[in-house]
Structure 1
Amino acid sequence: MQTEVLLDRFLDGLAPLAPLAVWAHGSLAGGDYQEGRSDLDLIAVLEGPPTPRTIWRLAKLHARLRTAPLADRLHCTYLTPDAVDDVDRRHLTWAHQQLFKRPVTPVTRRELHAFGRVLRGTAPAGLLPPVTDRELGEFVVSDQRDFWRPAVDDARLWTRDVWVDLGLITFARASVTAREGRLISKREALDLLPGLGAPVEVVEDIRRRRYEDAAPPTEEWAAYRAGLARDYLGPAIDALVASYA
């Protein structure tokens, strides 16, 4: 399996930095992973704050993996013990073939505690503070309000598969988390979306592309699908925020 080969190469390359832990979250840990379609979402905990030399070594490691199968889908955020309890802190991250900084969200933190896969070292409970239901609920609602709702108004985005897929799936997952305080998989989100009023043809389009070898959408379908997705998500997000903000 190409995924395990890539993970082994990554972990071997990271070993000289002696990470305290390396964890998987997202689909890779939650049981809905689709090789070649899903991202490999990882967290590594380094012993101390990354120095310029550490950053150079991490960049070199990821550069060596660049041509490996699935390497473009390997994302890793690098935490340090002194900063794990700051949910707003932006941490060094490799994703989309570059290094930048981003926070480790309450959703990711809850995933790690609930079903994180330990690839090396200490389990998440030994290093990562827990996330309360209130913190989790407030985050998913604010994410819908502050990120996804403005994005719905940008028509240019929604002819792309990734925006349609993540937009609808993230909304369904946020709805369940806000209402029940639990996380669900992408597959569960797709099953729930028709009951939440989402256009069935769009949901089935997402399902085929995620779980089957579906052909790329035509320009006509992509434009029509974009309208359906935006017409649904705008009012749906507004209602969610009004109920739980």
Structure 2
Amino acid sequence: MAPTANPPRPVRVWDLPTRLFHWSLAATIAVCFVSGKVGGNAMQWHFNSGYVAFGLVVFRLAWGLIGGRWSRFASFIYGPGALLRYLKGRSRPDELIEVGHNPLGSFSVFALLGIVSVQVATGLVADDEIANTGPLWRFVSGETALDATAWHKGPGQWIIIGLVSLHVASIVFHRLKGHNLVLPMFTGDKPLPPGTPASADGLQQRLMALVLGAVVAALVNWVVSLGQL
């Protein structure tokens, strides 16, 4: 058999800040869920991991505008037509769905960012009427705090678990088809055709992410401290 004329080569798709975000959010969601179920003294872990989730989401929203090429939202915002073509297996070559997030993966990213944002917001103003209140609970009415608590402890957490479960199922499905989605999120690289544009992931980008992370941490600390004023 003749060798392939243009064999795939490793291309940097996921920059380091995106990879760290991904695995940090996964760990944070796990800690939030377990500590919330344990209750008691573990609630301090729940609050702290919630603040971390807050910061991670804000970081990702900003990084989606200034991060590496395939981490930017502009690279994986698909219209209904692109989604339909993907589901029918007729995606156009120019849509480059094999590089970053495909249309279904795009939906998963935006859905998870959205629901985690809502979960963080409701946690900040929650009041379980027992021993735990969010740092901003006094800025809303009692009825709003109770509604937020009901969502936070009920539908909100289960929607997140559902989305995470679908994400894991998708990874398994693609693995069975011969596509490893997990390894690139560790290494950052995917084997892709020559000429595929790569994400910038050098020292400049990493320093920029570090500065952004510091700004986001300061912002989260300021928001949380408002409840102590």
Q: Which gives a bigger RCO, structure 1 or 2 (Cα 8 Å, sep 6+)?
A: 2
Greater C-alpha Rg: 2
Which structure dedicates a bigger proportion of its chain to helix? Answer: 2
TM-score, structure 1 normalization: 0.27
